[in-house]
Amino acid sequence: MAQDNNNRYYIILVALGIILGIYTFKLFSLQVLNKSYKRQANENAIREITIHPARGFIYDRNDSLLVYNDAAYDLMVVPKELRKFDTLELCRVLGLEIEDVRKKIEKAAKYSGSVPSLFKQQISKEDYGYLQEKMSEFPGFFVQSRTLRSYPQPIAAHILGYVSEVDEQDVENDSYYRMGDYIGKSGIEKAYEPILRGVKGKRKVLVDVHNREMGSFDNGAEDIVAVPGTSIWSTLDMQLQRYGEELMAGKRGAIVAIEPKTGEILCLISSPNYDPNLLVGTARPKNYGKLVMDPEKPLFNRALQAAYPPGSTFKLANGLIALQDHIISPSTIYSCSGGGYHIGSHVVHCHNCGGLNIYSAIQRSCNTFFCRAYYNILSNRTKYKNIDEAYTAWLDYMSSMGFLQQFNTDLPYELKGRIPTAEYFDKKYNNSWNGNTVVSMGIGQGEAAVTPLQMANMLAVIANKGYYIRPHIVKAIGKKDSLNTQFNEKVYSKIEPRHFETVLQGMKMVVTGGTGRGAAIPGIEVAGKTGTAQNPHGRDHSVFALIAPANDPQIVIFCLVENGGFGATVACPIASLMAEYYLNRKVERTDLERRMKELNIK
Amino acid sequence: MPKLDPYNKMSKGFDVRLICYYLALVVIGWITIYSTCHIPDGSTPIFDFGQPYSKQMLWIGTSIVLAIVILLIDSGIIQHYAYFFYLFCLLLMILVIFIGAEINGAKSWIKIGGFSLQPTEFMKVATALAMAKFMQEGKTANQRRYVWVAQVALITIPILVALLQHDAGSALVFFSFIILFYREGLSAEFLVFGIIAAVLGYMTLKLNETYSIALITVVFIIFMIFNRNQKKKIRRNIIVYLASIVFVFSVYFLYEHGLEPHQKQRIDTIFGKTSDPLGADFNLNQSKIAIGSGGFFGKGYLHGTQTKLNFVPEQSTDFIFCAIGEEWGFFGTLVVFGLYGALVFRILKLSEKQRNPFVRYYGYGIAGIFAIHFFINIGMTIGLLPIIGIPLPFISYGGSSLWAFTMMLFCFIKLNDN
């Protein structure tokens, strides 16, 4: 029988061999010829995880922390891994209703069974501690930590700026960002974004079919370590900033203080302001909406973005130009009588100061003197052919002191200010205008509108006797002693240094025996200038410009309080108190301090 | 009476090649099972009896003991107790239907303590032995006319019981005896019918019954024209034609009404009727990704991602070939194919040389069983066949199957040596 069926043995061998051959070919095509499975396998099992580095801290000039990172904890849920758990306990800990828990889980499950979903954002540290210990009783839940900006003191919100999730525009502009990343949206956070944010890292991990992490891919060979953000030292003096904000409470306005030798902004206050902690984390959208809708406009940075008529403080600049253009000398005397400066039937009112030189004119803030000086600058036909040329030359002087421009340093959204051009007046007055037509600008009223920052910068020019360093807000990057050298070049004005002595002398007299006597600080020689900016919408703005100490200026302060009335009544004491606080680190005039803090002008 | 007589029998020498193939496959199985349990970045201790690879070590150890015992006992025992063994396994299989534990939809396991026993695995070797014994005995002319009924019954009974257990895979295995029957004189016509049935079944499932009927009719008409003068052949043609139509409708009916939805889905997937890579086809799709991503030389041992991260289901049992394909690539495929090919061809060759027909019957029986396991198991992982859960002999994790296949092979080695 064995021999009979011998050919069947071979038929069986061949049949099995053919099937084996088909299988071999099929596997060859699957494994060697087809390349798409490799890609699909990687898509399956390798997940790239982005590591967000901690953002750099922001310190003030004295090493006090202005901004740091706080750990936040989000409770996440993976619906597929959920088992029976004590719902009541979870509700108790998180302060949720049972119905909420069910809804949240349903929503998460709808999104994905195996991908973690946010269950509750930013649970408190206490709840986190509690849950962390009992996590095993809540299978399917886990806590994910992330960092949030935090501010030890509720100050300087406008300058520090805020951080929020990137929008589509950000992603489009910079390929570094992916949706869900955070970006500095304003202030220092925005200006120093690339330094503060650090560099994202990435980690390739293996995930299993349930999307669980199962270790690193290829022992981390392709991983990129995240570089933490670099810390920044601001030029701000946190104490001064806080003190200024306290003084400005209940008032609208702005204070800008600069260290003239360096151009470093010591404080930059815009009131009303807001607590930067409001714009962090879950509460941000709600609070932001509230702030946007607030009729007081707390988000508006008056120090940089509001253009005010500078009032009499502008006389300082015009005095300097008149001296430079030889319109007047320190001994030139103009007389003030008849109720002010007369232009036809129109009168710019003054107090019949009598004959005075520039020192007294600054001391008493004489309108007549500065109107005449301004008119004479613009009518100087020995130097300038016509009004256009004279006016343009004046604008040129102004911009050499920092007006009509943005400093373009590291400050957010500066306004250029508005001082019209000669063409504007040509058009407006049909080519028939002269110094008297625009004379109100000589005393800081009329068409001129400048920002508090620009005024403070002008004070720095006076304090430095001829130059300024572009005002900036960041002192050092990375290390405290690594000075930020981006902004250290001196910008010279077109005014000779000797003229500043004259103006500064006048400003000293303002404090010793003029309109700004309230600015006097015991033991410190102060130079100042009051201003009252006319406000067509209501009460005049109170303005004060201060330089202290007068002989070795360490701080210049420009203070403007909206609707504060005369410069001497509100802005002057506030600026003075700030200078005292900055220079002495304490304030002796506590009565005045209390009065100013409690003063409410709204 | 059979008796132990080790020294005498050992001296003749067992077939070393088969033993080598066996050991190679078992070792490949173990290292692959270890790899499927290996977690990247984590330590995977060799001995951890919660882990399949450690249990498999135990199964391998006991299997080797079992193999030695089989080699030591008198081969007469094997023959003598063949029917008894068959009945015993059949009883256990029936018992399982009532007291068995359900795993993956099939009720084919008996739980004893912490271990599960699958009687069906042992039924395969028992059937091979019983079939061989039956075919060797009583072949008088008178008996011959009815003996095929008994032969068919020997395999039909376990098929029915396996189907009652919802274990379609095992039921399918018993069809492999057709190789034995063919070798021993089964008319080639049966195989031709088998091939016709396969073609019709394929067409019916791939396209639909109308196409099959149309094809049959066309072929029928052609045959009728050629055989128009031969009455006998015309009658045969008509019978075959009607039988084919009945077959096509039974396939259609079975497919539409006899199958459970998931089985139907699996068949649809194979024939490309539906595509649902995240749903019903997930397993097959992931299995193909795992094997396909291996390339020529594979990702390297312990570096497979798809299998150890559980994208592939049942990766240490039915889908273990995925792990081999992924980590060892086409090279690994060739090695495994080579070993199985060598094993089956060696068994066939030795059987053919045997003067003792019992050994030849048994050899063909188990060669068929090994071959069908191999083709079905690997065929399903690469999408040539629908997903049918049967183990890859010697490689898949599992005590019952390893013991049963060891018994199967070593009985042959022992019998062949006599």
Cβ pair A5:B286 closer than 8 A: no
Alpha carbon distance A158, A411 (integer Å) = 10
- Listed in sequence order, the residues at least 6 apart from A590 whose beta carbon sits closer than 8 Å to its beta carbon are none
Minimum CA–CA partner of B328 in chain A: A31
Alpha carbon distance B333, B374 (integer Å) = 12
Among candidate residues A46, A116, A47, the one with its CA nearest the CA of residue A80: A116
**What are A59's strand-pairing partners?**
A65, A233
Cβ pair B311:A27 closer than 8 A: no
Per-residue pLDDT, averaged over A351-359, amounts to 90
* Å between A2 CA and nearest CA of chain B: 7
* Domain ranges for chain A: 45-64+153-234, 70-151, 238-273+300-598
Count of Cβ atoms closer than 10 Å to residue A573 Cβ: 23
Among candidate residues A187, A239, A265, the one with its CA nearest the CA of residue A457: A265
What is the structure's pLDDT at B167? 84
* Å between B295 CA and nearest CA of chain A: 5
* Å between B290 CA and nearest CA of chain A: 7
Per-residue pLDDT, averaged over B58-85, amounts to 93
Task: Decide: helix, strand or coil at residue B391.
Answer: coil
**What are A141's strand-pairing partners?**
A77
What secondary structure does DSSP assign to A160-188, as a single string? H--EEE--HHHHHH-TT--TT-EEE-SHH
pLDDT digits (tens, 9 = 90+) for A43-65: 777 777 777 788 999 999 999 99
Is residue A451 a contact partner of residue A304, using CB atoms and an 8 Å limit? yes
Alpha carbon distance B168, B260 (integer Å) = 12
pLDDT digits (tens, 9 = 90+) for A549-598: 999 999 999 999 999 988 888 999 999 999 999 999 999 999 999 999 99
- Listed in sequence order, the residues at least 6 apart from A73 whose beta carbon sits closer than 8 Å to its beta carbon are A122, A123, A125, A127, A128, A143, A144, A145
- The more confident residue out of B356 and A282 is B356
- For A31, the closest of B295, B306, B355 (CB atoms) is B295
Cβ pair B291:A20 closer than 8 A: no
pLDDT digits (tens, 9 = 90+) for A167-206: 888 888 888 887 767 899 888 999 999 999 999 888 887 7
pLDDT digits (tens, 9 = 90+) for A473-496: 999 998 877 777 788 899 999 999
Cβ pair A214:B40 closer than 8 A: yes
Band (pLDDT 50/70/90 cuts) for residue B185 is: confident
* Å between A112 CA and nearest CA of chain B: 13
- Listed in sequence order, the residues at least 6 apart from B38 whose beta carbon sits closer than 8 Å to its beta carbon are B44, B302, B308
Among candidate residues B364, B333, B303, the one with its CA nearest the CA of residue A26: B333
Highest mean pLDDT among A119-123, B247-251, B311-315: B247-251
In this structure, which topology does domain A45-64+153-234 adopt according to CATH? Penicillin-binding protein 2a (Domain 2) (3.90.1310)
Give the least confident one: A384-388, B54-58, B226-230. B226-230
- The more confident residue out of B36 and B264 is B36
Q: How many CA atoms lie within 13 A of B115 on its CB side?
A: 12
Q: What is the mean pLDDT of chain A?
A: 88
Band (pLDDT 50/70/90 cuts) for residue B233 is: confident
What is the structure's pLDDT at B394? 95
Q: Does domain A238-273+300-598 have CATH number 1.10.10.10?
A: no
Alpha carbon distance A583, B290 (integer Å) = 74
Q: What percent of chain A has pLDDT over 70?
A: 97
Which amino acid does the sequence have at B76?
A: G
Q: What are residue B177's phi and psi, to 5 degrees?
A: -65, -10
Alpha carbon distance A210, A525 (integer Å) = 74
In this structure, which topology does domain A70-151 adopt according to CATH? Penicillin-binding protein 2a (Domain 2) (3.90.1310)
What is the structure's pLDDT at A559? 96
Task: Report the predicted TM-score, pTM, of the whole model to 2 decimal places.
Answer: 0.67
Q: Which of B44, B183, B297, B315 to mutate to test the interface with A (most CBs of A within 10 A)?
A: B183
Among candidate residues A274, A262, A251, A253, the one with its CA nearest the CA of residue A452: A253
Q: Is the pLDDT of residue A212 over 80?
A: no
Band (pLDDT 50/70/90 cuts) for residue A257 is: very high
- For A30, the closest of B40, B291, B379 (CB atoms) is B291
Alpha carbon distance A226, A218 (integer Å) = 18
Domains A45-64+153-234 and A238-273+300-598 share a fold: no
- For B184, the closest of A5, A30, A215 (CB atoms) is A5
* Partners of residue A20 in chain B, C-beta under 8 Å: 337, 341
Considering only the C-alpha atoms of chain B, give the largest distance between any 2 of them, rounded to a whole number of Å: 79
